[in-house]
Structure 1
Amino acid sequence: MSLKQRLLIYINALLVGSILIGFTVIMAVAKKEVREEVLSTQALAVFAIENGIKNNPDYYLFHQDNAAFGLSGLSEIRHLNIAFIDTDGVTMDQTKPHLDLANDPPAWFQNALAIMSAPLSSKTIDITQGSQLVGHVRIQPNPVYEYTEIWEHIKIGLWVIFIFVILINSFVYLLFSYMIKPIDHIIQGFDNLEKGNYKARVSNSGITELNLIGNKFNGMVIKLRQANQKIHKLSQDLLSVQELEKQELARNLHDEHGQVLTAIQTEATSIRSAKTIQSRNKSIDSIISLSKNMMLSTRSIIKNLSLGLIDELGLEDALIDLIESWKSRFTNAQLTYTIDKSIINAINPQQQAHIYRIIQEGITNIEKHSKPKNVSIKITVLGPKKQLRIELINDGIKKDAKKNFDRGVGLMSIEERVSQLNGRCKISINRVFKITIDLGITH
């Protein structure tokens, strides 16, 4: 169901409810007024007849030959039915009905009015001749005429209300159709965005609420465009890094393994041509030494390519090995580290791999882009929820580092790993370059 249809349903429900409440109030007021008017007329008729009999007893004497009061000649009585009934219960004379049954209000309307008040009772006046009772006059309230007038007024009111409801619905429909036209522009913007158009924008509509949506949409598009550019750049950088890693691996294999294999081949050839046992043993020892060096070199390459070291040593020792290895290569920098052992064992294997790579990438980033004198690495527990905090701090920054700061593939890789762990990464540049990472621990 569309918003337009919902709005029309709500408005019509409100109108119908208001009409029903108003109709009920009108019925109650009308019934009260009708009752008061009918009872007043009845009281007046009783008073007139009783006083007429009292003041003119001869005029009201009952005559057998002319058993009538002339009630049938009264045609303008609206609120009462007056009848003369003899002692046998036979109606001898009565007033004429004022309306045709065809013009009476519907029965449900009369019943609705009757429900709202107590029934109207009739009045009876005894008629005597001398001391003998000859009959009585019954004055019965008859509010049908008033009901008819009220019904006619209500019918006119219902027609007015019907026309009013039609006009209100038409006005709301046209107004709402005009007001939601800017939504079509927003939908068009989403369609363009879905097609990959990151330049899509929603123009100002002149409606405050829709302008807020449009501004949020435009802001979202800008962020998506920036994220798309960031992903594109990251993809290019990753391809470049992969090529560099391949080249480095090929160079290491060529420089180290190639030379070692050549030396082993040379020593093996010399064994064949050795004339003395001493020279032969010397070549054998050389081959053994070269093989050990080659094994260590291979292990170092495998260590850098895979995380089997974590399974072998555990995260804490693997990190210490990584840090100590860096310290041995960069003796000009003073590196200190703190590792909270209480939290290390609570980290699941997937998080351990990411944390190791984050530290490794951070150290590599310092190695490539800084010339620090002091480097600090801290892995600690933060707060009662036992969040893991990682801090990488170095003082090897340039004076204009904050102004010309640009995230390279290393920092983007760190941020991506932190994002995968649903953590937060903050980079600050002041007197030192500091990376602060907060991670929730999943056991």
Structure 2
Amino acid sequence: MKPAKINIFDLRKNWVLLALLLPSLGLIALFSYLPAIDAIKHSFYKWDGAFIKQFIGMDNFRSLLGDLTLWTPLLLSCLALGISGLSASAATRRRLQWIIYPLAAWTVTVLVRDAIAGGALQHTPQAVGAIQILLGLSLPAAAGMLWLKPKPRLRTACRVFFWLLAVAAGMTYLIGVKQSGDQLLWMSFRLIFIMIAANLLKMWPSIFTAVCIHRLKSDRAQYIYRVLFVIPMIIPQIVMLLVWKFFYDPNIGILNRVITGLHIDRILIWLDTWVFHLGVFTDPFNPAWLGNPHLIIPALVFWGFPWVGVVGVLIYLSGLQNIGNDVYEAAQIDGIGWWGKFWRIELPLIMTQVRLNLILMIVATFQAYSFQYILLGAEGGPQNRGLTPGLYMFYRAFMEQDYGYACAIGLILFIIILTLTAINQRFVKVDK
């Protein structure tokens, strides 16, 4: 069924409803869109947050990202990758393969060699940019490789291989480019991507918990568990963060006591002595989880254990409730077990909720700064190991009174979050 189209005459008929919506739209514009537009404007100023501001153009972005001309080849190569993979015909791919493949392989070899040797790639943007565009054009050639052999797996493997070559070259170039930018910003992005990778794994306990609650035969038991998951939402987040800060305390914290009581400390001391050689686990066992640079990232990853998100469980439960009993009865007749029901029925049918939680997780991870601020302080702990882009933006705005620089960080975060959300919407498929 096609959605009905609304024309201008329908709007005139429903002018009362539109008039009722105007106050809400006005408040949203006043408190959401106008501040965002104002932040974009002030990202081009040197601004102390009050009345002293000076237009400095792209200087804030140059300080953050380095020489902006170095980013042009990288963006052009990404554009070439997309266009070449989508629009090239099979005949074009066959003609290009004998030219592009040797050049692509050679340029990637040169880039990797320069990276290993410590070559300053940022001083040769034109050459590296040409290489990147060349690698982008190699994608249609990869799609036409082995065109005489009708095996789809070989063709797919070839496409993936040459796409990875282009990505490897781009990452090598990026390593050189980022040396001229704000190193604290790059360090914060490194932590963010580590946290996103960890949060992808931490999504599974919530999924399994929701499935277990959904499979309870007693409606009363399901209701009790839902209530138990709603109660923690009443507790202020700052209280939970202070509890975790006490949890990590090296002297009176619970974590060190539990590790010592279970005799895991001996294993950690042995691993540190003979494998990692970091000197963080010694006898007596009282590591400073939030005071040692080597332990800050593991402490942030471990935060929230056992990683059963309250909101995530409730969202998954709402999706599981839409699965009819006839589906489970058919699975029972076919002899599908507990694990098979999860992988073949429940997980595919809640992929919409999984994608929603994935988007929320990515946005929340990039915007996170409150729990790092409470646990580690405004500078992100020793050696800024716990610094995130959101916390760095807070630090530059409220600690150094450089609001224009903070607005520039916020604009970069907005572009990255928007891009990742679009990629998620495009490539994370949901069966309807």
TM-score bin, normalised by smaller chain? under 0.3
Determine which structure has the larger strand proportion and give its number: 1
Q: How does the TM-score come out when normalised to structure 1? A: 0.22
Q: TM-score scaled by structure 2?
A: 0.22
Q: Which has the higher contact order (CA 8 A, sep 6+)?
A: 2
**Higher helix proportion, which one?**
2
